[in-house]
Amino acid sequence: MSKIWIRETAEKTSKEVKLFGWIDSIRDHGKVVFADLRDRSGIVQLVGGEELKKLGLEDVVEVKGKAVERKPGFINPRLETGKIEIKVEKIKLLAKAKALPFDIQTNGKELSEEVRIKYRYLDLRRKRLRRNLQIRHQIGALFRQLLGERGFWEVETPSLGRSTPEGARDFLVPSRLQPGCFYALPQSPQQYKQLLMVAGVERYFQLATCFRDEDLRADRQFEFTQVDIEMSFMTRDEVLELIEEVVTRVFEALGKKIVQKPFPRISYQEAMEKYGSDSPDLRKKKRETGFAFAWVIDFPLFEKTATREISPMHHPFTAPNPKDTSLLDKNPLRARSLQYDLVCNGMEVGGGSIRITDPVIQEKIFGILGHSKKELKDKFGHLLEAFSYGVPPHGGIALGLDRLVALSCEESSIREVIAFPMTARGRTAVMEAPASVAASQLKELGIKVIPFKRKK
């Protein structure tokens, strides 16, 4: 007798089965006791006697018994296994569970985020969150399948790199072997994927973990996952068409309705003037069912920010629109770029661009941004050196996996679709990092912590 999933018991009528799982509920009717057994696949009803009375909620058990049809009038249409029940012949307690700190039969939204994330391993036992993780798995698998069918290779890139000016603050990692020097966790695999194009990979993708030390909110975490894509010898329109096809296939495979195909294309200027946002919601009514995807194109190459007179709208590797290259010397803030964003229901779910491959243009861009030739050589010399050996025209996109999954699951926060998310205060689930470390560890790294007071 081999172990089977609970959902498979529906096809095992009159057969002996062996199941493993958690006790989901118990109903004591005296001589007869009913209990629901739960595993990842579903729930099935157990029928027994004294052996079930000894169990508690969330106990982990092994069950051997016979799958039998339920009597007429006792069928549960809400369960996939609702037409059968398991007559328990033998049950073995594998692990006893103490009383849970909260009810896992609810959707969990009545609880504080801090409590849920502290006990995330219990929170994940909820039906809603199990469904979210399953959909996340399905979406990741679909991207891998569909991109593979289109000639893309999945290539892993390093997590320890160099700190470079790419927009957000870096997370730094001290080096023990090179005292005083630091690695940086990747804000994205941007330079590595461009180097893969130089290497002749031509079509690359990766479900990449990225790190950005920026303010947290419902659609943003310190670490997140993106479907990172790069391809050679593609125009902007060809990139948009390919990505649109893949995203459409993913959502339709999940049974989701896409409001409009092909996706509308809107200029940045039109989006701001008509909708007041560069992530417009194109649904006619906000409660309309379905997913309104759109491309926003023709972004400015540069923008003014609160801290800088001129800053890249996307990142410094984004190519200017060929029609606007003359503006780089005259009025760079008027120059358009070959950046594009994918938006859905008012949320940015992806962003990318055609990249700069001309070292002269790249040097000019960094000059406009205020970087000296020495800084350019120190921080990006490796990229420019690589480009000198024959670089193909290329471009790509990074799709926010967490945001796409949250949309698919109709969740308002990406924390609901991440297994172990951070709190809004930046504390990690369960382990509650960041935390202090032993003085011996700091000494080994040559680091001294200087106390400071936070501004009120």
Query: What residue type is assigned to position 365 of the chain?
Result: I
A 10 A CB-CB count for 128 gives: 15
pLDDT score at 405: 98
Residue length of the chain: 456
- The pLDDT tens digits of the residues spanning 241-280 come to 999 999 999 999 999 999 999 999 999 999 999 999 999 9
Domain layout of the chain by residue ranges: 6-95, 124-417
Contact 430, 424 (CB under 8 A): no
Q: Whole-angstrom Cα distance, residue 294 to residue 346?
A: 10
pLDDT of residue 352: 97
Domain 6-95 in CATH 3.40.1190.20: no
Residue 147 tokens read as 């991109």
- The DSSP bridge partners found for residue 350 are 342, 399
At residue 165, the pLDDT reads: 67
Which residue's entry shows tokens 């609810």?
Answer: 106
Q: State residue 122 phi and psi, 5-degree precision.
A: -85, -40
Among candidate residues 369, 362, 415, 366, the one with its CA nearest the CA of residue 384? 362
pLDDT computed for residue 455 by the predictor:
64
**Domain 124-417 adopts which CATH fold?**
BirA Bifunctional Protein; domain 2 (3.30.930)
Nearest to 357 by CA among 321, 389, 382, 394: 394
**6-95 matches 124-417 in fold:** no
- 2 contacts: CB under 8 Å, gap ≥ 6: 18
> What is the structure's pLDDT at 319?
96
Burial of 136 (C-beta count, 10 Å sphere; 0-12/13-18/19+): buried
Q: Which residues of the chain have pLDDT under 50?
A: none
Mapping DSSP to helix (H, G, I), strand (E, B) and coil, where does residue 448 land?
coil
Return the number of other C-beta atoms located less than 10 Å from residue 7's C-beta. Answer: 16
CA–CA–CA angle 377, 324, 312 (5° rounding):
45
Rounded Cα–Cα distance for residues 142 and 126 (Å): 24
* Cα–Cα dist 137/143, whole Å: 10
Quick check: 346 and 321 in contact, CB under 8 A?
no
**Alpha helices (H) in 314-389, listed in sequence order:** 327-330, 359-368, 373-387
C-alpha–C-alpha distance, residues 320 and 393, integer Å: 13
In tens, the pLDDT along 277-293 reads 999 999 988 788 899 99
**Residue that has been written with the tokens 């990139």 in this structure:** 239
Q: How far is it, in rounded angstroms, from Cα 75 to Cα 438?
A: 59
Q: Please, which residues bridge with residue 28 across strands?
A: 33
Give me 150's structure tokens. 């289109």
User: What is the C-alpha separation between 420 and 428, in angstroms, rounded?
Assistant: 7
